């Protein structure tokens, strides 16, 4: 039992009835019919299910599991892709090009399969093994992003068996690789995508069977060549040969005879299952110098799936952009990333969302003709600078960045913006990662346009007509969102309430038109002295509110002092006559130390604003 590590059960608990059912394959007739239907719809699936079942069995045997547990993982291996019965023929057959929403549908097959198996009481215990066979050992897989031992042991085994069959089967890329190379590839990914103990168990078992001359290993090794349409004797146990692994020492195969000939496997171009062939084929055709079996193919599908989910979940533009940045950081592996959007009316680019070194640049505006981003939009193609210090057009800003790639976001040849990723190392942006991000660029651009249209359509109900700041209702909705975001990312948040000191006097002495002009001047002063990420609102009458996301108290207080000074020295005109206000009073409250709900924060900020206002009035009274 090589590399076994701590003993674990494939399925933690199996009832006697379930063991009996699995032993006689009770309840499998309908489901095996589903598998046959899948194989008949797509030749690349032929024989894949039974081979994964066999490989799962020998891994479990090598790890020392008992007969019932071996049978459980064997049956689960047979059923691992049964959820593809819910995927359309068109998606199954079209491995060359899938739209993002189609990738999302394909990646749901594990969830669908688990739901199918769950309906049969005898097989229900196997549902978690099927649901989680595309999880990554280091996290970041689908559908639930489990990590390490959170992933059911049987699912970890099936993941390895699935990948091994894809690597050693005929694929869309021209054929299999030797089993020794496949084992080496799995070992390279052990600890990241795959369970190390399971990989070693497979490696040791196949190596031992090779020394003993097992027919299935000779087939994998290429010494037996498959003939299209012919069943090859001596495939893994259950292919029809007594020489297969486990044929004498363990239970027989879970499946019937499967064709080892022809295009075996279900996609071959990925270590994530048949669905990996979709992204793998596109990456291979792009000609960027990566091998067809690189783990980047699997990661690309994970990224596509997560981005599709994020884009479909929200219409708020800022929240959407933040989620995309988070996905790039977590699943692509770049802490430094930014989304730069085009303002077509002013021919400017603005950093709308940033992570890592780019976070400090949020709100920064520059000409749409400048920098790598400007070049990318102009050319409608990726611009990559392996060393930005040698790129004359690079606009310095994020001091840690040494390599940067700008990926244009375009809809029907209309530029929307640029996705930027950077690295603190020379040539630190990998070409395969650029290609992964190119795959999401079109969908991201479309989603941004939809969110912008939604934003414009909702402006009338969320923006104050006089000041063009957000209104009272939007302020409360947005504050709730920002508090949730601050809690999620463990960032500070500040809320300020401001009150114009003498607006009533201006209205009484100069009329309401003068008061309106004063409010517009105050709104403009707030805009000039805050960041684009700050949320400005007319709270009501002569009161304003500001939300300062990701801001410590001293930073927000300095901004309020700057606003107060600007207003006390500022003037506005009404009918050619200059006027001024005496200033504003303001109060500040911070999350989480001074309040954890919107009501608590606003109440405290409001109270502190009135304290300042009363102190000013007391000072003026004393002076007279």
What pLDDT does residue 144 have? 84
Residues 6+ positions from 154 with CB-CB distance below 8 Å: 10, 11, 56, 60, 72, 73, 76, 126, 128, 129
Strands 383-385 and 365-367, how do they pair?
Answer: unpaired
Element (H, E) at 585: strand 584-591
Better-predicted residue by pLDDT, 189 or 545: 545
State the maximum Cα–Cα separation within the chain, in Å, rounded to a whole number: 108
Query: Per-residue pLDDT tens for 341-390?
Result: 998 777 899 999 999 999 888 888 899 999 999 999 999 999 999 999 88
Place of tokens 């995508």: 193
Residue 497 to residue 546: CA distance in whole angstroms: 7
Residue 619 to residue 368: CA distance in whole angstroms: 51
DSSP string, 235-260: -STTSS-TTSTTTTTS---SS-----
- Structural domains in the chain? 16-295 (1.10.3210.10), 314-454 (3.30.450.40), 472-623 (3.30.70.270)
Query: Per-residue pLDDT tens for 97-150?
Result: 566 556 666 677 888 888 878 777 777 888 999 999 989 999 878 888 899 999
Phi-psi region of 490 (alpha: psi -120 to 50; beta: other; left: phi over 0): left
Residues 6+ positions from 3 with CB-CB distance below 8 Å: 196, 197, 199, 200, 201, 204
Under DSSP, the state recorded for 330 is I
Residue 445 to residue 342: CA distance in whole angstroms: 11
What pLDDT does residue 117 have? 80
Query: Per-residue pLDDT tens for 467-496?
Result: 999 999 999 999 999 999 999 889 999 999
The percentage of the chain sitting over the pLDDT mark of 90, rounded to a whole number, equals 34
Other Cβ atoms less than 10 A from the Cβ of 333: the count is 13
496: nearest Cα among 435, 446, 558: 558
What pLDDT does residue 483 have? 96
What pLDDT does residue 199 have? 97
Mean pLDDT, residues 434-454 taken together: 81
Burial class (CB in 10 A: 0-12, 13-18, 19+), 263: buried
Element (H, E) at 318: helix 317-327
Under DSSP, the state recorded for 231 is P
């Amino acid at each position: 039992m090589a590399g076994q590590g701590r003993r674990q059960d494939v399925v933690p608990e199996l009832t006697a009835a379930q063991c009996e059912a699995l032993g006689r394959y009770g309840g499998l007739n309908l489901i095996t019919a589903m598998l046959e239907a899948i194989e008949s719809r797509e030749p690349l699936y032929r024989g894949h299910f039974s081979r994964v079942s066999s490989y799962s069995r020998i891994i479990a045997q090598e790890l020392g599991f008992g007969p019932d547990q071996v049978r459980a993982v064997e049956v689960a291996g047979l059923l691992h892709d049964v959820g593809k019965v819910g995927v359309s023929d068109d998606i199954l057959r079209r491995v060359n090009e899938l739209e993002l929403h189609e990738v999302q549908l394909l990646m749901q097959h594990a969830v669908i399969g688990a739901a199918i198996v769950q309906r049969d009481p005898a097989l229900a215990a196997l549902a978690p093994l099927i649901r989680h066979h595309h999880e990554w050992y280091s996290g970041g897989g689908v559908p639930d992003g489990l990590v390490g031992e959170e992933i059911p042991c049987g699912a970890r085994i099936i993941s390895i068996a699935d990948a091994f069959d894809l690597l050693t089967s005929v694929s869309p890329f021209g054929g299999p690789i030797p089993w020794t190379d496949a084992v080496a590839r799995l070992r390279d990914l052990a600890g990241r995508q795959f369970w190390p103990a399971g990989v070693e168990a497979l490696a040791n078992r196949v190596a031992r069977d090779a020394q003993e001359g097992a027919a299935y290993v000779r087939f994998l090794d290429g010494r037996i060549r498959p003939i299209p349409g012919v069943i090859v004797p001596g495939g893994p146990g259950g292919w029809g040969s007594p020489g297969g692994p486990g044929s004498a020492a363990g239970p027989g195969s879970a499946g019937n005879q499967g064709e080892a000939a022809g295009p075996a496997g279900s996609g071959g171009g990925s270590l994530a299952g048949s669905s990996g062939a979709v992204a793998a084929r596109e990456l291979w055709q792009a000609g960027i110098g990566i091998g067809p079996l690189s783990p980047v193919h699997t990661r690309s599908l994970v990224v596509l799936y997560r981005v599709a989910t994020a884009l479909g979940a929200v219409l708020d533009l800022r929240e959407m952009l933040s989620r995309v940045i988070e996905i790039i950081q977590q699943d692509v592996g770049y802490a430094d990333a930014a989304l730069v959007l085009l303002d077509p009316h002013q021919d400017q680019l603005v950093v709308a969302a940033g992570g890592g070194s780019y976070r400090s640049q949020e709100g920064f505006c520059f000409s749409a003709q400048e920098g790598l981003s400007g070049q990318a939009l102009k050319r409608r193609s990726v611009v990559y600078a392996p060393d930005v210090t040698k790129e004359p057009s690079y606009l310095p800003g994020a001091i840690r960045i040494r390599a940067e790639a700008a990926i244009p976001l375009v809809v029907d040849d209309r530029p929307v913006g640029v996705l930027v990723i950077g690295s603190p190392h020379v040539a630190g942006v990998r070409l395969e990662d650029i290609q992964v991000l190119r795959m999401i660029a079109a969908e991201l651009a479309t989603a941004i346009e939809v969110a912008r249209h939604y934003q414009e359509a909702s402006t009338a109900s969320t923006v104050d007509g006089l000041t063009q700041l957000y209104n009272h209702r939007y302020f409360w909705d947005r504050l709730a969102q920002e508090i949730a975001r601050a809690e999620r990312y463990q960032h500070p948040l500040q809320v300020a309430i401001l009150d114009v000191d003498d607006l009533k006097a201006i209205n009484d002495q100069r009329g309401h038109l003068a008061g309106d002009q004063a409010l517009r001047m105050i709104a403009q002063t707030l805009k000039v002295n805050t960041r684009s990420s700050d949320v400005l609102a007319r709270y009501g009458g002569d009161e304003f509110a500001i939300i300062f996301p990701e801001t410590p108290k001293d930073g927000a207080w300095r901004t309020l002092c700057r606003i107060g000074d600007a207003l006390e020295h500022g003037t506005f005109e009404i009918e050619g006559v200059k006027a001024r206000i005496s200033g504003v009073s303001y109060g500040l409250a911070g999350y989480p130390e001074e309040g954890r709900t919107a009501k608590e924060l606003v109440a405290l900020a409001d109270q502190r604003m009135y304290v300042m206002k009363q102190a000013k009035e007391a000072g003026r009274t004393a002076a007279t």
